[in-house]
Amino acid sequence: MKVLIVDDEVIIRTGLSTVINWEDSGFTVLEPAASAEEALQRIPNEWPEIIFTDIRMSGKSGLQMVHEVKKEYPDMEMIIISGFDDFAYAQQALREGASDYLLKTSRPDEIIQAALRAKQRLEHRRHEYEQVKAKEIVVNRSFLRQLLASASNPNEQIVTELWNRYPALRVKKGEQLLQMWIITAQDEDLEEVRDPEVLHAALGQMLTGLLPCEWLHWNQSLLLLVKIEVDNNGWDPVEWAIRKAEEALHFQIFAACGRSVEDAYQLREAMNTAVEASSYVWLLSHERSVRYEEIEERKGLRMVCTMEEETTLFTLLRAGNMEDLHVGIKNILERSKQDVQATPNSVQAYLHSLIMAGYRWLERAASSIGYSNVLPHGEDVNKLELAKRPEQALMYHFEAMMKQYSLIVSGTSPVQRALEYIQDNLDQSPSLSQVAKHVHMNPNYFSEVFKRETGQNYIEFITQAKLRKAMVMLSETPAKISEVANRIGYEDIKHFNRLFKKFTGQTPSEYRGKI
């Protein structure tokens, strides 16, 4: 925190600046000023936070300087350090805005304490200001979020409130435009970063220092509302600012811009077109940015795979070579990207048709050898993942099909062997790892296959199997309820009762009593 000492006596100003150990208390002493006039001239450039000044000086007095400083810089701390122990002087100094009155005979520790009190007051005011500012930002962004999420264009009252909250974004018709950008930070593999909110906040703060704009977190991306000049001589300040931020943050950024609009009454159009442009984040990722005008005429590609494409896919799945499958998927996606008519929705529909064709093939393969276990039918296809991460989504489903096909043609399913093992060892509560080891499978993959074939995750299946065994014991044996619970691995009788009632709708006693 910077301190400026003002005194026309060289011995006083030199002594105050050198004798006292300011640095140990967190202060930086500026070059002392020999007059109020000199201090007033230097303040706008040096910005001291605490000023110690004498009262009687040649030229303007310290009291006059206090008056002028507090009028122009109300947050600066002014401390009088005078040779006059005069109550009237002290009163006048406080009226002018000084926060403390010391004598030049004060000890160094008394002067430091006065500076520390001033520092504490400054920090308290700054903290309060930051809190007020933070609340104001939250309220303003909440207003902006509601405005942009609305399905209709804003009315006059809302537009007026928008300009009151964000006066720097107000546009002059014919001279300036509003643009909506949706910006997504990605890593080198075009995956979303692990903590996008933190990175997007840093990006937003950086862009507000480079552009007249406001930003919001928006669906794992950054939404930027920015004002631009109509006549910029071909130079795009937004693209420039985004690339500067990209370079500083060391992340690749994909930016999508909606249609530019002349006023806030058209924000709905700007928002809708920005959202549409941003949906091309995967399809046009190699471009790094896209504007709505560049994609609005696209018609979309064919949304259903051909018989030839199905045959090629089935050959890959049947062969069981994971590397070839990966190459095949890359080729499919690259063809989609190269189609100049491709749109995100049409690509998503086309890829979904490929997945469903694969599941139909798997069903036919199972039926042909009399395989009776439950097979996946593609109900779990996450279309959002398919649009955002198509390569991973396709690989997930096709790899599962390939492994399922291998199980079908290899004879008895490992899950069938696992079910027998579970029933034989139910009272020992076998873990997923134990069962996976018994059927020679990786636990994670076994868990996926188990759920796919049984329709339940492992814990749900074990719990229900135990409770079904308890139902048999309660109906067919005279064993006590506590013995039944222990036999199926539950030592806590209350926990067993809760699970049993949740499963059957009755307590164990009620169930036995109705038999």
Domain boundary among 124, 142, 176: 124
User: Residue 190: what pLDDT?
Assistant: 45
Single-letter residue type at 70 = K
The pTM (predicted TM-score) of the whole model is 0.60
Q: Are residues 202 and 265 in the same domain?
A: yes
Q: Are residues 258 and 387 in the same domain?
A: no
Q: In what order do the strands lie in the sheet with 176-186?
A: 213-218, 221-229, 176-186, 252-257, 289-291
Contact status, residue 485 vs residue 496, Cβ threshold 8 Å = yes
**φ, ψ at 377 (rounded to 5°):** -120, 10
Whichever domain contains 220, its CATH number is: 3.30.70
Q: Are residues 332 and 375 in the same domain?
A: yes
Distance CA 37, CA 55 (A): 13
What is the number of structural domains in the chain? 4
User: Residue 252: what pLDDT?
Assistant: 85
Contacts of 314 (CB under 8 A, 6+ apart): 358, 361
Structural domain includes residue 498: yes
Structural domain includes residue 449: no
The tokens of 254 are what? 């994909």
What Cα–Cα distance (Å) separates residue 422 from each residue in 21, 270, 425, 429, 466? 77, 59, 5, 8, 10
Distance CA 111, CA 103 (A): 9
Q: Are residues 161 and 284 in the same domain?
A: yes
Distance CA 472, CA 59 (A): 105
Domain boundary among 294, 317, 332: 294
Structural domain includes residue 149: no
Whichever domain contains 507, its CATH number is: 1.10.10.60
| 29: pLDDT strictly greater than 60 | yes
Give Dmax (Cα) for the chain.
110
Angle at 196 between CA 194 and CA 201, to 5 degrees: 145
Closest among 313, 203, 305 to 249, alpha carbons compared: 203
Q: Are residues 74 and 87 in the same domain?
A: yes
Share of the chain above pLDDT 90, in %: 52
Contact status, residue 34 vs residue 10, Cβ threshold 8 Å = yes
Domain boundary among 262, 294, 326: 294
Contact status, residue 343 vs residue 296, Cβ threshold 8 Å = no
For the stretch 38-50, pLDDT in tens is 999 999 999 999 9
Q: Are residues 394 and 331 in the same domain?
A: yes
Q: Are residues 283 and 332 in the same domain?
A: no
**Domain enclosing residue 342, as ranges:** 307-409
H or E element that contains 15: helix 10-18
The tokens of 78 are what? 């002014």
Q: Are residues 163 and 289 in the same domain?
A: yes
The tokens of 224 are what? 């930027």
Closest among 140, 237, 233, 117 to 179, alpha carbons compared: 237
User: Residue 371: what pLDDT?
Assistant: 64
Structural domain includes residue 377: yes
For the stretch 92-136, pLDDT in tens is 888 888 989 988 888 999 999 999 999 999 999 999 988 988 899
| 490: pLDDT strictly greater than 90 | no
Contacts of 303 (CB under 8 A, 6+ apart): 346, 349, 350, 353
Structural domain includes residue 387: yes
pLDDT band for position 419 (50/70/90)? confident
Q: Are residues 174 and 267 in the same domain?
A: yes
Share of the chain above pLDDT 70, in %: 93
β-strand partners of 288: none
Distance CA 50, CA 3 (A): 5
Strands (E), 98-220: 100-103, 176-186, 213-218
Angle at 136 between CA 130 and CA 139, to 5 degrees: 140
| 195: pLDDT strictly greater than 90 | no
Rounded mean pLDDT of the chain?
88
Q: Are residues 418 and 396 in the same domain?
A: no
Contact status, residue 508 vs residue 497, Cβ threshold 8 Å = yes
Whichever domain contains 118, its CATH number is: 3.40.50.2300
Q: Are residues 10 and 71 in the same domain?
A: yes
